[in-house]
Structure 1
């Protein structure tokens, strides 16, 4: 194989594996410049070990309610204590997303076990050591949006289509309070309404978009012809009046 083809395969190996040129050459020469087999072997060699399930089962049993078999409020509080965080620390929402938890205040065995495996943790101590990394996801705009949107379904009462205003306000303050000064205006607008509406999924998700636009551009960035939820349209109308 000529030098140009070798350089091309080294480049492709690096793109696929996010590694360096030295490693790329090592694997490609080992497999006679067969890119597919070289990448496959590299991925096999560098794959993180799957956590053992027995320690995870022991950890789960420490926190579960013996009657229901689930980790419930008290167990989650103890879990947070062992992690060195408060139950209202937003990072617990990041963890809950990795667990793919379906109901706030409950971790089922499969959620806990599969979540810990996805985090490559076979103990609570290992998870604790990863908290700084998980916390950084709250500052990453793309990852934060995924967490924020997950929280809506996770926080609804079982069988309810929408999220209660009371719950939404608590969660907005927890997730958005330090990000958007306009948030308290929004909450005040909702709470003073004669009729208190539950919050729809559309309103929940698009509020974050609106606050980000407002933070960058103010009301000038708001497009009234956009498909905004009615509550946000009415909020903008009130803001416009107060600014005149």
Structure 2
């Protein structure tokens, strides 16, 4: 890369987000990762600056409209306009629908869908002036297939994919792409704690007969962030070992 471009990666403290941030560093980007706490941001900063002093981190809670607006204004002032925005931050509040309460529904929709809206709202205008860039939203196979106990999460991720297609249509003429990457079951600390019987049941549904690795999601993100994907927009790339082939 002749000129180092800037990338913002939300939810970069662990798992898929950490892998994405580190892969974008490898691809030559200057990366700023986010976490929801001071200690989390400090850990992200330490990990990224071990790869290069130019990288950084900040505190960002996309569920909080006021904090998000202030944090992203600070980001633009300190670092400038990003070329790549990766919306990875998200939460789960799983429960069977008949037991799911308003807070469990609202928390997931507010973070996983409205939070992405807030980040894009802050970043799209300067990116339009830049007339170049890529927005990559991390969805989930659950947004396509649904999953018992995750009506809130499935609704948020399905909504995220619809949001992605609509935003892509609005800003494609300014040379800005908007796409999703939808992971299947990826080996992270969240899957590591599952009982062996549950892991075996999940693996039985995956033609690839293994969980994915965070680095495989990061690879798809790196592709969408690169020059070879400039004519791809409004798409969802599924990375799930064949679990869903729709």
**What TM-score comes out, normalization by structure 2 length?**
0.23
Q: If the length of structure 1 is used for normalisation, what is the TM-score?
A: 0.23
More strand by share: 2
Between the two structures, name the one with larger relative contact order (CA 8 Å, sep ≥ 6).
2
Of structures 1 and 2, the larger Rg is shown by 1
